[in-house]
Chains A and B, each alone.
Chain A
């Protein structure tokens, strides 16, 4: 990581800690925000958080490794989580799963090479009456068909276009 990148990450985490409080019960909310903003909680980020909250980095790691929505490894900008629990399973999640693998070219637990997508499983996401259900980041999709997978992924890809544009404008 470039020194400037590190500095930016540290400043960012520092601002979060100032906002949420430098105490143990702020640990998970801080880690959640780091995860959302940076798609990962790197070793360096864990060290910074530990320093700020005055706890051992191993404590931070033990928390990160416990929760399935927190991750030490980089995730894609879009994390697609397909529900694999019983009602969605009966509603046809297997075909949706295969189509997701085909369209993204990765298996479950993997990310695309361009770092845009991560494909993962979820356990019951509370949409059992409208399965198969999946989450794309925070957004929920229900009654997903194998055919519909393409549309969902395309919608994500389109936001990349917009996102790219915004970035350019910011710089200009």
Chain B
């Protein structure tokens, strides 16, 4: 499966060489022209981010590679790091040159500790080849090196400001934004945080040009994207597709025909029912960091919602009330639904709570943790309401307005 990935066809070193032959502004200009948006989920334009960091004042700046990959159903970064680590480091080095940073940090999730030796070996080789260090890659006066720091099992640390807190030795609690990391990041210095895949594409764009990247995808979502496909399909794995692919086409490719629903974007993404498989995966339609989870005919969608809410209850950092309490309430609601004792009125209240969480939470975790619940309730009402529990209902207290 991975043989199909474009990264394999890009000559290692080509992107870095091309980039170092250009001026800083030209590199950023090329990225802006390519239209590339971040591959970690939020989809912020890379050119804009790098430009802000390059323009920020600071005697030291940092390029951080977000290798925390904790979104349920995502594993493409694992494959990229194991098979194309050089491209990622190249992207970071280009970032250092373009923004004026001298240090790169890979924040690698604790669950991926087994990769560390491999990544350190790749870095050592790069130092040996003088691609890192003083006068890196033969560019006089350009100094850049990369180190790896491990996470310790906290999903929220994938959020860029929580990640920075963690790098600095604190609890991974997201910060208020603004200020943004591009001017007040790691150690209060200007910092670029990018996803593993984003950095690899940067190296590819430098090697092949903005026009090449833009030639596929849609106007607002350019280029190719890696997808992590799991669940009820014949061929799970990592795939590369153009942005803007329809869900039904994607299902054909992975052997997921006949699916009842697809979760696009992991636990924090949306659950798309079969009726909407004509929709596209793109920043302007259904956006994703690459997680695609296929639900076959027999799956219980309420069990799916419960699994996701269990996840968020556990992973919420607890800093703000809508997220800390809201996820608990939604989980309780799922239990009531499962036991067939949730009134329509209460379900409506839960849905409005979910919407409040999206508005009132401090970071992306709380802002998106109710997405799956809301889309499952909306699309699978018949399946989740009025359930009879195993055994007798008569001794159970019923909701007043049981509907």
Chain A residues closer than 8 Å to B320, beta-carbon distance: none
Asked whether A68 is an interface residue with its Cβ less than 8 Å from the other chain, the reply is: yes
Q: What's the least CB distance linking A37 to chain B, in Å? A: 14
Residue of B78, B114, B153, B314 ringed by the most chain A CB atoms within 10 A: B153
> Which B222-253 residues have a C-beta within 8 angstroms of A?
228-232, 236-238
Chain A residues closer than 8 Å to B169, beta-carbon distance: 23-28, 63
Asked whether B195 is an interface residue with its Cβ less than 8 Å from the other chain, the reply is: no
Interface string of A124-140 (1 = CB under 8 A from B): 11111111000100111
Could you tell me how many residues of chain B have their Cβ less than 8 Å away from some Cβ of chain A? 51
Interface pair B72/A86, CB less than 8 Å apart: yes
Interface pair B230/A129, CB less than 8 Å apart: yes
Chain B residues closer than 8 Å to A138, beta-carbon distance: 113-114
Chain A residues closer than 8 Å to B168, beta-carbon distance: 24-25
Cα distance A130–B75 when bound, in Å? 11
Surface stretch bound by A, among B174-182, B304-312, B338-346, B360-368 = B304-312
Chain A residues closer than 8 Å to B161, beta-carbon distance: none
Cα distance A29–B154 when bound, in Å? 15
Interface pair A32/B230, CB less than 8 Å apart: no
Q: What's the least CB distance linking A157 to chain B, in Å? A: 21
Known pairs A66-B154, A129-B237; A123 contacts B72 (CB<8 A): yes
Could you tell me how many residues of chain A have their Cβ less than 8 Å away from some Cβ of chain B? 36
Interface string of A85-103 (1 = CB under 8 A from B): 1110110000000000000
Interface pair B171/A63, CB less than 8 Å apart: yes
Q: What's the least CB distance linking A16 to chain B, in Å? A: 14
Interface pair B167/A25, CB less than 8 Å apart: yes
Interface pair A67/B73, CB less than 8 Å apart: no
Asked whether B155 is an interface residue with its Cβ less than 8 Å from the other chain, the reply is: yes
Chain A residues closer than 8 Å to B263, beta-carbon distance: 86
Cα distance A28–B153 when bound, in Å? 12
Interface pair A90/B231, CB less than 8 Å apart: yes
Interface pair B111/A128, CB less than 8 Å apart: no
Cα distance A125–B74 when bound, in Å? 9
> Which A1-37 residues have a C-beta within 8 angstroms of B?
23-29, 31-32
Asked whether A122 is an interface residue with its Cβ less than 8 Å from the other chain, the reply is: yes
Asked whether B299 is an interface residue with its Cβ less than 8 Å from the other chain, the reply is: yes
Q: Which of B232, B236, B299 contacts A128 (CB 8 A)?
A: B236
Q: Which of B111, B149, B154 contacts A126 (CB 8 A)?
A: B111
Q: What's the least CB distance linking A140 to chain B, in Å? A: 6
Cα distance A16–B223 when bound, in Å? 45
Asked whether A159 is an interface residue with its Cβ less than 8 Å from the other chain, the reply is: no
Chain A residues closer than 8 Å to B304, beta-carbon distance: 86
Interface pair A67/B236, CB less than 8 Å apart: no
Q: What's the least CB distance linking A70 to chain B, in Å? A: 6
Q: What's the least CB distance linking B181 to chain A, in Å? A: 16
Asked whether A69 is an interface residue with its Cβ less than 8 Å from the other chain, the reply is: yes
Q: What's the least CB distance linking B205 to chain A, in Å? A: 26
Cα distance A135–B109 when bound, in Å? 13
Interface pair A123/B75, CB less than 8 Å apart: no
Asked whether B5 is an interface residue with its Cβ less than 8 Å from the other chain, the reply is: no
Known pairs A87-B293, A122-B111; A28 contacts B152 (CB<8 A): yes
Chain B residues closer than 8 Å to A130, beta-carbon distance: 236
Cα distance A28–B164 when bound, in Å? 12
Interface pair A85/B307, CB less than 8 Å apart: yes
Interface pair A67/B230, CB less than 8 Å apart: no
Q: Which of A70, A89, A128 contacts B307 (CB 8 A)?
A: A89
Interface string of A31-71 (1 = CB under 8 A from B): 11000000000000000000000000000001100111110
Q: Which of B73, B153, B187 contacts A87 (CB 8 A)?
A: B73
Chain A residues closer than 8 Å to B170, beta-carbon distance: 24, 63
Known pairs A25-B167, A86-B72, A87-B293; A126 contacts B112 (CB<8 A): yes
Chain B residues closer than 8 Å to A31, beta-carbon distance: 152
Chain A residues closer than 8 Å to B72, beta-carbon distance: 85-87, 123-124, 128
Pairs A-B, 4 closest by C-beta atoms = A67-B152, A27-B169, A129-B236, A128-B230
A-B contact pairs, 23 of them (CB 8 A): A24-B170, A26-B169, A28-B166, A29-B149, A31-B152, A62-B171, A67-B110, A85-B73, A85-B311, A86-B72, A86-B231, A86-B304, A87-B231, A90-B299, A123-B72, A123-B314, A125-B111, A127-B75, A128-B74, A128-B236, A129-B228, A129-B229, A138-B114
Q: A66-B171, A127-B75, A128-B74 given. 13 additional CB < 8 A pairs?
A: A24-B168, A24-B169, A67-B151, A67-B172, A69-B153, A87-B72, A87-B293, A90-B295, A124-B72, A124-B74, A124-B311, A128-B75, A128-B231
